[in-house]
A and B are shown apart, each in its own frame.
Chain A
């Protein structure tokens, strides 16, 4: 797919000047014929009048009488060949110059395009490489936290709590990394997803578990509404976790302290779909910004919220992944806070589905 895109971009540019050159060369004999008329029109005063421009060459050869025409055909063959050379040269030079000019312009365009493509590719592979590089220190941090925790004396609860914090922050860092990687993969082509039957409730439990300490620190409590039992959707398990994680991460960032937020799971039997709603009572998103939030690198509360960090990729990626799994992610208007609805096709357990 990448190859095709590259090919279609680069193909026409060098082709244009080449086509012009080919046309110029093929049409040359016609020019030669027209020009042989000239000397008979203005016999001897100016032996070889050079046409000032291409237009002159067009205007001059029009014969006033038909006899001139026949005369020209009866003229000495040696003169004809000489004049052909004399009059062809400037036109040939002109057309070659024009072709060369077009080739050069084409080449410059082509090189620039190629360079731009290369830069874009480099940027993507750079993001890829950096994310990969970052995983090694992250592994080292995680392994060593585990090693320290294991050797800590039982009574060192405070230290263990700190270590849990470090572990939690590491997993946050990993989430950010995954987002950057997913994004750069998207730039390279479609993300590869494998749809299987995923239990929505279990996924939500898992993500809430991961966020547990962070939510607790901000005094936030999840209010689960609707089905607690298993409810299956056709989704890629990693992508589903990423979407739910990104939504809850936003709640953790923007919801007011010591509050509750809602996570609702509802079956939509009519559409054979499952809807997951995540709603908080934070500052929300204004109507004007609602259209922008799913675009990459857009952060609405950039200035207003202190101590809130992010790449502006979370919602863009969540939206992209939801669409790729034949679902939707939408911001629905509410009186207060932000309310996101993720809808995914329902699945029977243990069935596989082709990804879009």
Chain B
């Protein structure tokens, strides 16, 4: 999933990039409005995060231009302007959400995820032929909906938010159900060959993922560590 980030402050831009790409989103970075419109035309992102106060072409104008051609793409404003009137203008010209600065990583991710989910739901309504979103099941316990960035626990119906990175880890492990997947393969397939994350990155992601998906009631754990090799999801133990 590609996310366009238009922000003139370089530190904020980098931090946003880090937050989103760390979770497995592909990012497109623009430092002003013109850049943002150009990137939107050429790269067709799935979501746009726009700062309002940018040199030359401001976020409102970018939003107007994108909206005049594309009614679907979710647009989020990230802005220090937080007077009610600014929020109202933002939503009036077609933004989906308005995140007021200052915000933290978790708020950002939650809002990005929910905007993407809403747009996926809208797409499903628009084209009923694909009304059942692509999904895959793990051990009959979890159903993963990659386009909606969520999983559903089959036993309880509980919904779990997942990042694109976490979904790709689950997908790779599920493809090799019952086998240990080497760390290198996980890193290559989930982070890409050109990316060399620190050695701990994978472990941290797995730790976070476990917190979310493990039933945590003493049942057999979903993701197992295979010492010296990597990780695996064991086949369902039938009793």
Contact = CB atoms under 8 A, between A and B. Distances in A.
A140 B204 contact: no
Contacts of B105: 142-143, 146-147, 150
A53 interface: no
Interface residues of B, number: 25
Contacts of A139: 12, 15, 80, 101-103
Interface stretch (A62-70, A129-137, A204-212, A336-344): A129-137
Which of B9, B16, B104 counts the most chain A CB atoms within 10 A?
B104
Contacts of A144: 15
B12 A146 contact: no
Nearest to A151: B204
A143 B15 contact: yes
Which of A132, A143, A185 counts the most chain B CB atoms within 10 A?
A143
Contacts of B84: 192
A269 interface: no
Interface in B99-148: 101-106, 108
A221 B156 CA distance: 39
B81 interface: yes
A224 B83 CA distance: 34
B204 A143 contact: no
A143 B11 CA distance: 10
Contacts of B202: none
Interface in A144-182: 144-147, 150-151, 153-154, 167, 170, 174
Contacts of A153: 200
Interface string A107-144: 00000000000000000000000001101111111111
B72 to A, nearest CB: 28
B230 interface: no
A147 B12 contact: no
A343 to B, nearest CB: 26
Interface in B1-37: 9, 11-12, 15-16, 18-19, 22
Contacts of A136: 9, 12, 80, 101
A242 to B, nearest CB: 13
Interface in B52-111: 80-84, 101-106, 108
Interface string A296-316: 000000000000000000000
14 contacts: A138-B102, A139-B12, A139-B101, A140-B15, A142-B104, A143-B12, A143-B18, A143-B104, A143-B105, A143-B108, A147-B15, A151-B204, A153-B200, A170-B102
